[in-house]
Chain A
Amino acid sequence: MTGLMRRWLAHAIFALAAFATPLLLSGNRYFAFIAGITFFSVLWATGMNLLYGYTGLMPLMFGGIAGISAYVTIGLSANGWSFWLAMLVGSVAASLVGIVLGLPALRLRGFYFTLCSLVIQTVITLAFVYFVNLTNGDVGISHIPLPELPGGRQLAGTAYELVLATIAVIGVVVLTVIVESSFGRRLTAIREDDGLAETLGINVTRQKLAAFFVASLFASVGGALYAPYVGFISPRSFDVLLSLNIWVMVAFGGRGTIWGPVIGAVILAPVPFVLQDYYTIKDVVYGLLIIGVVVLLPGGIVGGVKRKGRADAPAAVAKQAAPVR
């Protein structure tokens, strides 16, 4: 009981911080923008956590799904649709695509699935470049108008960041609910051993595809809102580097925990902006971070703390603790 209360307390604190940040930063549009981008990262990292942390699949086409949603949403609203309806259709469509792209996960595991998802991501990026009529090719789409609100006003500035904060909070709550539910427990069972899960009577196919749908929904809602917020999208906005960066946030924070990826996103998302003046070393820093996480912090920050806290590390963390001699 106290554990449950404590969990929701953490959510309340997170929600409070999320809503306070845009209000506190409203005086400086640049910092407020960084906060906005961080909310996207929190949402995306939370969605990838469902796949990578709880289902045990590392998808590298996450960015591509966000991109499909962004292009569909922008395309529809350019044809006169209301942004919100377009976003609904775009997100659901992209999530259905996400299920299809998740199909290989039924046959492939571990590295083979990840490689497959990398190929899919490459195909998606190529397609964004190739179908110039739909996507404007490598030039990208600029001048993306802000979403209209009822009453003819535009969603802009601090209000936009508050919407993003809401979405991020909802994302974390949804993940928590899923993890606590029997659906979440079935996913964890699949992560540990999907053969065993099958013999326990779990319909692995259906669970995996459901996980892909939900995670893709995280990706695509983010993608749809990202486009007007930044005002510009191009195939490069949603390439494999985005997927990798989200993966780093999840792994760095600690996969398979609710707060690990959130912490990872909050720490890492502002890094490119902070490093703006040190542009030359940005890629190198990110690369070192990836290697550092794999070599030194296989359980992420939260995993590391947990491991220190408890003498008998839980099985999942011990399994990730890579260099066993």
Chain B
Amino acid sequence: MSDTTLIILLSTITTGLMLGLIFSLVAVGVTIIYGSIWMPNAANGQFFLLAALFAWSTSVSWGLQPALAALLVIGSSVPLSYALEILLVRRFYDVPNRNISYFVLTLGITQILSGIFSITYGVWSDQFQLPPLVPGVTMLGPFPIANNRLAAMLIAAVLLAILFALLRFHRYGRALRAVFQNRDAAALRGVNVRGIYRMSFVLGNAVIFAGGVLFACAYSFDLTIAWTMAITAFAIMIIGGPGSVLGALVIGIVFGLTQAVASIFASPTIAAFAYLGAMLIILLFRPSGLFAR
């Protein structure tokens, strides 16, 4: 294999993994919330962007160490989630068709956040670029890759592994899965359903925030990423099966790799059409997704 082919091959794989891991993180966050509360969080893209912007502010304007800034931002999602839960989310816990109410509600939040970002951060929208987590470049054979990106990839993978273990083996994870499957049965078995709801809202948002921070570490971004991310995360959740963490994980990585491959052979626009088309087909013919339990 010539160096040229090798470079293109390696760049495709690393890009696919990088994007895929971030997609997976966000989609897992969205699917945890949907699986438990039944809340399709259309504002996930804005939360993702909020995290990225906050990471930019703390590391560039306040001059914090990027790693420290990242932790601070992910931590900040907890009070935010609590406030939203108390103000809005818990009002609908017992409403029968609450997923559509939640959907509209989060579209409203999307509108508010995008309005606020446009006023506050819009002025710097060509400057969102974080100092690297780890400087320097590593050579994978003939292919140079920024250490910063390798670090972001590694962290995303570790986070996903931790999440997976948590949901599989920890007491909370088992309770969460019980609520996913049947909330009444779970309540009868003594699970505090509302407590689980709150926990999953907080956990889900923290994961979305982590995705936003890692994205900001790996790429320059601007305010338009919010909508792209929101649609992508929804597409992954629907195809993987709403509420299925494994589905979100697998489909997220598949999406990342497809995007990388498609951008070589077809235009990246075609890749965008392909996602949406796949999502439509799954919605129509297998609404419970590919990884339905």
Interchain CB contact (< 8 A) of B104 among A281, A288, A294: A294
Q: Which of B94, B112, B116 has the most CB of A within 10 A?
A: B112
Contact across chains for A110 and B111 when beta carbons are under 8 A apart:
no
Q: In the bound complex, how far is the Cα of B91 from the Cα of A130, in angstroms?
A: 42
- Cα–Cα distance between A287 and B111 once the two chains are bound (Å): 5
Return chain B residues, CB-CB under 8 Å to A104.
280, 283-284
Report the Cα distance A114→B283, complex, angstroms.
11
Given the known A-B contacts A112-B283, A116-B283, are A280 and B119 also in contact in the complex, defined by CB atoms under 8 Å? Answer: yes
A122–B283 CB distance below 8 A: no
B258-293 Cβ-contact flags toward A at 8 Å (1 or 0): 000000000001001100110110011001000000
Residues of A within 8 A of B103 (CB): 111, 114-115
Binds B, one of A29-37, A255-263, A317-325: A317-325
Q: How does the 8 Å CB contact mask read for A110-126 relative to B, with 1 for contact and 0 for none?
A: 11101110011011001
When the two chains form the complex, which single residue of A126, A244, A281, A324 contacts B269, counting CB atoms closer than 8 Å? A126
Q: Which residues of A contact B110 (CB under 8 A)?
A: 287
Residue B123 CB within 8 A of the other chain: no
| Residue numbers in A under 8 Å from B108 (CB-CB) | 287-291, 294
Q: A244-B107, A288-B108 are in contact. Are A130 and B115 (CB under 8 A)?
A: no
Which of chain A's residues have a CB closer than 8 A to the CB of B234?
Answer: 115, 119
Q: How far is the CA of A263 from the CA of B272 in the complex (A)?
A: 39
Residue of A nearest to B43 (CB): A287
Residue of A nearest to B280 (CB): A119
**Contact assessment for A115 and B283 in the assembled complex, using a CB-CB cutoff below 8 Å:** yes
Q: Is A170 an interface residue (CB 8 A)?
A: no
- Per-position contact with B for A284-325: 1 when CB-CB < 8 Å, else 0? 101111110011000000000000000000000000001111
- A112 adjacent to B287 (CB under 8 Å): yes
Q: Are A322 and B112 in contact (CB under 8 A)?
A: no
Residues of A within 8 A of B114 (CB): 283
Is A283 a contact partner of B283 (Cβ separation < 8 A)? no
Q: Contact: A111 with B287, CB < 8 Å? A: no
Interface majority SS (helix, strand, loop, mixed), chain B: helix
Q: Are B287 and A323 interface neighbours, CB within 8 A?
A: no
Count of chain A to chain B residue pairs whose CB atoms are closer than 8 Å in the complex = 110
Q: Per a CB cutoff under 8 Å, which of A280, A290, A323 touches B95?
A: A323
Asked if B109 contacts A287 (CB within 8 A), the reply is: yes
Whether A143 is near chain B, meaning CB under 8 Å from some CB there, is no
Given A115-B40, A291-B109, A294-B105, decide whether A108 and B284 contact each other with a Cβ distance below 8 A. yes
A283:B115 contact, CB within 8 angstroms: yes
Closest chain A residue to B38, Cβ basis: A111
Residues of A with C-beta under 8 A to B280:
104, 116, 119-120, 123
Q: Collect the chain B residues with CB atoms within 8 Å of residue A289's CB.
A: 108
> In the complex, what residues of B have CB within 8 A of residue A251's CB?
104
Cβ A282 vs Cβ B279 within 8 A: no
Q: Is B100 an interface residue (CB 8 A)?
A: yes
| Chain B minimum-CB-distance residue to A244 | B107
Q: Is A6 close to B, CB under 8 A?
A: no
A123 to B275, CA, bound (A): 10
**Is the CB of B101 closer than 8 A to any CB of chain A?**
yes
* Complex CA distance for A287 and B113, rounded to whole angstroms: 8
* Chain A residues, Cβ within 8 Å of B269: 126, 130
Quick check: A122 and B231 within 8 Å, CB to CB? yes
A58 at the interface (CB under 8 A from B): yes
Q: Mark B102-136, 1 if CB is under 8 A from A, else 0.
A: 01110111111111101100000000000000000
B95 to A119, Cβ gap below 8 A? no
Most buried by B among A58, A108, A111, A288: A111
Inter-chain contact B231/A284, CB cutoff 8 Å: no
Contact B105 A290 (CB under 8 A): yes
B238 within 8 A of A: yes
Residues of B within 8 A of A153 (CB): none
Does A206 have its Cβ within 8 Å of any Cβ on chain B?
no
Complex formed: what's the CA distance from A111 to B97 in Å? 8
The complex places the Cα of A13 from the Cα of B235 at a distance, in Å, of 47
Question: B88 in the interface, Cβ–Cβ < 8 Å?
Answer: yes
Chain B hits for A130, CB < 8 A: 269, 273
Partner of B276, one of A123, A244, A295: A123
One of B91, B98, B112 near A288 (C-beta < 8 A): B112
Q: How far is the CB of B223 from chain A (nearest CB, A)?
A: 12
Contact with A119, one of B99, B109, B112, B283 (Cβ below 8 angstroms): B283
Contact with B along A222-259 (1 / 0, CB 8 A): 00000000000000000001001001000100000000
Known: A110-B97, A112-B283. A123 touches B112 (CB 8 A): no
Assembly CA distance A122 to B269 (angstroms) = 13
B272 and A126: CB pair below 8 A?
A: yes
A contact residues around B104 at 8 Å (CB): 58, 247, 251, 290, 294
> Can you list 20 contacts pairing A with B, beta carbon distance less than 8 Å?
A108-B283, A108-B284, A114-B100, A115-B283, A123-B277, A123-B280, A126-B272, A126-B273, A126-B276, A244-B107, A280-B115, A286-B111, A287-B110, A289-B108, A291-B105, A294-B105, A295-B91, A322-B91, A324-B94, A325-B94
For the complex of A and B, 4 pairs with smallest distance between CB atoms:
A283-B115, A290-B108, A287-B112, A287-B111
Known: A290-B105, A323-B91. 9 other contacts (CB 8 A): A111-B40, A111-B97, A119-B234, A122-B231, A283-B118, A286-B111, A295-B105, A322-B91, A324-B95
Q: Which residues of A contact B (CB under 8 A)?
A: 58, 104, 107-108, 110-112, 114-116, 119-120, 122-123, 126, 130, 241, 244, 247, 251, 280-284, 286-291, 294-295, 322-325
